[in-house]
A and B are shown apart, each in its own frame.
Chain A
């Protein structure tokens, strides 16, 4: 079944999906409350945000120099850096490395770049078996679905749905999978064997450290480390904008990353990989590869959207977004959903239908408020909207309505009269219940909620009255 073509149509489906709504309800309070608690406990948090932002700015301003240093250090450690201009290039490079290693099976840690390049499908087509090891990624791999969140890929699934997927895939018979504990244990047992037998491990990287040619990886499960260290070959798929100059800089990013993502001061595991196993070391892969993806990021770097490359993929913007909270990640039809995806997806892929993504926002501003590196997401969405208006003429009806509104807004007397009249009509219609159950031309909206009837006059009218009253009181004094 293919998803409907427009955001609006997909959002309608998402709102009607009771399983999805129940999964979203759990995530909503979870992420938001945990972040709030973590930040309340950290008096220096605003300083930490400033430091993290400074690191991202400085990294991008010196990007080519940092990348050359990174490459040189990886080479010196006996590893190899590969450059991929497109997602096609990335898939080809990864498959070549796997083939040279004579690989059949591949364990995978979570990599958003891997998702962006649809790497699993490509590996399968090349005759390899990719095994996702992050629990969330494993769940959506079984469901043949894309991730719906950049930190919690299976956020849209309820535990019953996960239990059903495991029953189908693992031949479990009647075993009780009612508790989350049982589900996690089941996955642990199945995936453990895979860690031990895979030929190649593919992970992402949260950061690259230029100074020493190091890839840093943040996880809670420990799957990333087992994927990186046990197979003979370790491939890291990431994008070049992840680079920072030094280990000190990396520390400044980590301080805000987990607090913003899951409300932890630090994740259970933060690991740093610099090349294959060296002389005298206890274990590690024999070969070590880093694949750096561009896929239009150099264009973003050279545009008014450069700040989007500051993103450290914490997910806070989507956790706090009222649109994302209501419709979930799949409605965005991109591996990058929510406010960051509404900016990034149109810039990375430029599909015609992506133009509607920057419109999927009420501009409430919470995303910018919580973004640890202070990316002005609403501002960037506004710029994308402006660009869309110039490049792509909106439909005739939209243009006529906007023109009519523009005309009206320039005529204050008429505007006041008409909005006042509208308010009175709605107030009269909803007088008895204080709300309207249905509205002509807006039945899809009122099917799920009532429109509160306006209480009294418009803001402008009340403001004018208050001013007059205040003046009167001053006059009396």
Chain B
């Protein structure tokens, strides 16, 4: 699109170019190649799982170990109050949910059970894209339960971008339960989103999940 001083766009971009002196031949590929090399200036993370645990606990996440995926449905009732309405990620539908009251409507569910698309050790963070999980399922429930397969855990944010998680219309990094400190700087858990975030660490490194094969 040519710069045109008849439009706000043209005038703004014209003023910016006058200030930065960007040549007309300058294109985004040139900007990309001027980015500093991607090698790390920050300390290496030697034990990603340990780092994830420590950070996640610090963020107020409740952590559990899950030896195998089917064990989830047996363990969950011990962590949640009875008679809770539950909505689940379609990718977990093959598990045995017979002991639970299920709903498809996320506005009606008080618990959501989801599979994380990635995990980041440096901040104890989970990644979800809305190719796999609806935003409502992440944000409208009172309790969010997430399974993180350890094969999807990386050290730093950048490692997930390299793995190509940037091309969904919504990507959510979730690092703890919803919280606010807007009243007298007092931290209060459960502002608009989940009051609890339970994360099951699934060790799938020897035996990858069905869907990852």
The interface of chain A, by Cβ under 8 A from chain B, is: 23, 26-27, 30-31, 43-44, 47-48, 51, 54, 58, 60-69, 77, 83-85, 89, 133-136, 139, 152-155, 157-159, 162, 180-181, 183-185, 187-188, 191-192, 195-196, 210-212, 214, 220-223, 225-226, 228-230, 240, 245-249, 251, 254, 262, 264-278, 280-284, 288, 292, 294, 298-299, 301-302, 306
B12–A240 contact, CB under 8 A?
yes
Chain A residues, Cβ within 8 Å of B123: 265-266
A192 to B136: give the CA distance in the assembly, Å. Answer: 12
Closest A residue to B55 by beta carbon equals: A265
A155–B185 contact, CB under 8 A?
yes
Closest A residue to B9 by beta carbon equals: A83
Identify 30 residue pairs between A and B in the complex whose beta-carbon atoms are under 8 Å apart, listed by A's number: A30-B185, A44-B42, A47-B42, A64-B13, A64-B22, A65-B27, A65-B28, A65-B30, A66-B28, A69-B28, A83-B12, A89-B8, A135-B180, A159-B186, A185-B190, A211-B28, A220-B178, A222-B193, A223-B192, A229-B130, A245-B31, A245-B35, A262-B181, A265-B58, A268-B174, A268-B177, A272-B171, A282-B133, A283-B134, A294-B8
Closest Cβ–Cβ distance, residue A236 to chain B (whole Å): 13
Knowing A62-B20, A273-B169 touch, does A282 contact B130 (C-beta < 8 A)? yes
Task: Give the contacts of B131-164 with A (CB-CB under 8 A).
Answer: 131-140, 156-158, 161
Chain A residues, Cβ within 8 Å of B193: 221-222, 225-226, 268-269
Knowing A249-B35, A251-B161, A268-B179 touch, does A274 contact B9 (C-beta < 8 A)? no
Chain A residues, Cβ within 8 Å of B167: 212, 274
Chain A residues, Cβ within 8 Å of B1: 68
A139 to B27: give the CA distance in the assembly, Å. Answer: 45
Knowing A65-B26, A77-B169, A246-B32 touch, does A136 contact B8 (C-beta < 8 A)? no
Task: Give the contacts of B1-49 with A (CB-CB under 8 A).
Answer: 1, 7-9, 11-13, 15-20, 22, 26-28, 30-32, 34-36, 38, 41-43
Closest Cβ–Cβ distance, residue B108 to chain A (whole Å): 11
A282–B26 contact, CB under 8 A?
no
Closest Cβ–Cβ distance, residue A57 to chain B (whole Å): 11
A85 to B7: give the CA distance in the assembly, Å. Answer: 10
A47–B41 contact, CB under 8 A?
yes
Chain A residues, Cβ within 8 Å of B173: 266, 269-271
Known: A158-B184, A222-B191, A282-B137. 17 other contacts (CB 8 A): A44-B41, A44-B43, A63-B20, A66-B31, A191-B192, A221-B180, A222-B178, A225-B172, A240-B16, A266-B173, A268-B59, A268-B175, A268-B176, A270-B173, A272-B171, A281-B130, A301-B16
Closest 3 pairs (CB-CB, A-B): A222-B193, A302-B19, A221-B191
Tell me if B101 counts as interface (CB < 8 A to partner A): no
B170–A273 contact, CB under 8 A?
yes
Task: Give the contacts of B100-121 with A (CB-CB under 8 A).
Answer: 107
Closest Cβ–Cβ distance, residue A308 to chain B (whole Å): 13
Q: Interface residues of B toward A: which range?
A: 35 or more
**Which of B34, B137, B169, B179 is A274 in contact with, Cβ under 8 Å?**
B169
Knowing A30-B181, A282-B130, A282-B132 touch, does A181 contact B192 (C-beta < 8 A)? no
Knowing A48-B42, A301-B20 touch, does A84 contact B158 (C-beta < 8 A)? no
Closest Cβ–Cβ distance, residue A233 to chain B (whole Å): 14
Closest A residue to B8 by beta carbon equals: A83
Closest Cβ–Cβ distance, residue A77 to chain B (whole Å): 7
Closest Cβ–Cβ distance, residue B150 to chain A (whole Å): 20
**Which of B13, B182, B186 is A139 in contact with, Cβ under 8 Å?**
B182
Closest Cβ–Cβ distance, residue A280 to chain B (whole Å): 7
Closest B residue to A84 by beta carbon equals: B8
Chain A residues, Cβ within 8 Å of B211: none
Knowing A48-B42, A251-B161 touch, does A152 contact B185 (C-beta < 8 A)? yes
Closest Cβ–Cβ distance, residue B143 to chain A (whole Å): 14
Closest Cβ–Cβ distance, residue A441 to chain B (whole Å): 38
Tell me if B183 counts as interface (CB < 8 A to partner A): yes
Chain A residues, Cβ within 8 Å of B19: 63, 298, 301-302, 306
**Which of B30, B170, B190 is A284 in contact with, Cβ under 8 Å?**
B170
A117 to B185: give the CA distance in the assembly, Å. Answer: 27
A225–B8 contact, CB under 8 A?
no
A234 to B20: give the CA distance in the assembly, Å. Answer: 31
**Which of B16, B32, B166, B169 is A67 in contact with, Cβ under 8 Å?**
B16
A65–B55 contact, CB under 8 A?
no
**Which of B132, B172, B192 is A133 in contact with, Cβ under 8 Å?**
B192
Closest Cβ–Cβ distance, residue B52 to chain A (whole Å): 12
